[in-house]
Structure 1
């Protein structure tokens, strides 16, 4: 049985309370047990097929037509997606994120991507600066070798710094700025690397169909 949105809210808040903060290479945070265990299990077993790369990678937008989201249609079909989206739309979570991380998410929209990455995938360093006002990269899969598949961090676009640990239920969090360089160095991926990419985005976000609640921006207060 899928956990309720309030179960997700409670677990996520507890995880944020125990967050670890880092100042290098830029201010970021890591959390563990970000979602209830049964939610992690259900998300891992959603019947989405990982899209092929067709020999092309480096930016996710190169494959926009095969990406999956916690959108209106998928939330109606999969209760676990609805519970997670409802939780991150919840007023208490919105306020908590805004206050604890000084994230400018008032009057933004919730965007949740269900990311499935296969061997050959890589991402060039980028900052998320612009229409994304908060980023949380939440890891799901637990196949052999996935512990080395965390997000890569950079001092600059050219200088690699290190990598977040990839553990199911763990997440890396940051508020996008001009130095929040991150990406994914090309390396072997066994099976499918699954994660949830959580962003709050501004009204300038053009792909409204990707949003969980395209007519309902979150409000801080």
Structure 2
């Protein structure tokens, strides 16, 4: 799995050299993010449908509007549902690409934005930085209502893993509240009617939408009704 260790530098290079977009909240869209051979390997190691668990039952999300989503965690029950090669691939990705150095490098790079978020929240700098990863698969649905990310998250990374560009319009959408001064530190999901749609990150192969969590990092997924659609994502979080 030596390619995992080498790939970390490729991913960091692509992330850290992409300008951050400041509006409607600080975010980045990176494409490509992995090397092409490694992206092909990611696709080749996606778990089969039966290896996933409904997302609300994983403990990683509230029940709510995640009914169409399922998740694959790096725990023993999930890895027991796949071949050793598949389980080892994703564990090595977490251990050797998205490792502690990777998380610490992101935190250092986005330190100013994180400082501003913590100051606005009235929170102190965390005593430790943690990381988490989950593979997510979803289909047609009424969408994911608008939210700002879990309060414990510092940085959220959504890696898009589609086969091709056929579902390009189906990425993460950014929003502004109609009541422009409305803010939310996370937890509840808000209805689409109370927000103006700003921009949708293209759901393209080998791309990444990422942001520093704030009280105005409003995002969601618009309702999608496409027969047979499958969206594969890899979610990585740096949190306190």
Provide TM-score, normalisation by structure 1.
0.76
Task: State the superposition RMSD in angstroms.
Answer: 2.9
Deviation at 1:80, TM superposition (A): 2.2
Structure 2 residue runs of 5 or longer lacking an equivalent are 55-59, 115-124, 178-189
What is the aligned counterpart of 2:98 among 55, 63, 88? Answer: 88
Deviation at 1:5, TM superposition (A): 2.7
Residue from 62, 67, 82 that aligns with 2:71: 67
Aligned positions of 1:34-183 closer than 5 A: 34-45=33-44, 46-49=46-49, 61-62=62-63, 66-71=70-75, 74=79, 78-86=87-95, 87-91=97-101, 93-102=102-111, 103=114, 107-120=128-141, 122-143=143-164, 145-156=166-177, 158-183=195-220
- Residues 63-72 or 128-137, more deviating: 63-72
Aligned length, in residue pairs:
195
| Alpha-carbon contact 2:53-2:71 (below 8 Å) kept | no
For the structure 1 residues 170 and 106, does the alpha-carbon distance in structure 2 shift closer, same or farther, using more than 3 Å as the test?
A: farther
Determine the structure 2 residue equivalent to 1:20.
19
Q: Whole-Å Cα distance in 2 between the matches of residues 11 and 136 of structure 1? A: 16
- Contact 2:164–2:205 (CA<8 Å) still a contact in 1? no
Equivalent position of 1:194 in the other structure: 232
Q: Distance in 2 between matches of 1:136 and 1:20?
A: 15
| Counterparts of 1:114 and 1:141, CA distance in 2 | 13
Question: Which 4+ runs in 1 deviate beyond 4 A?
Answer: 50-53, 63-66, 103-106
Q: Specify the SS of the correspondent of 1:96.
A: helix
Distance in 1 separating the partners of 2:99 and 2:129: 10
Considering only CA atoms, is the larger Rg found in Structure 1 or Structure 2?
Answer: 2
User: TM-score w.r.t. structure 2 length?
Assistant: 0.70
Counterpart-to-counterpart distance in 2, 1:33 and 1:144: 13
Residues 35-44 or 134-143, more deviating: 35-44
Q: Check conservation: 1:154, 1:162, Cα contact below 8 A.
A: yes
Distance in 2 (alpha carbons) for counterparts of 1:37 and 1:80: 17
In 2, Cα distance between equivalents of 1:105 and 1:89: 18
In 2, are the aligned partners of 1:70 and 1:111 still within 8 Å (CA)?
Answer: no
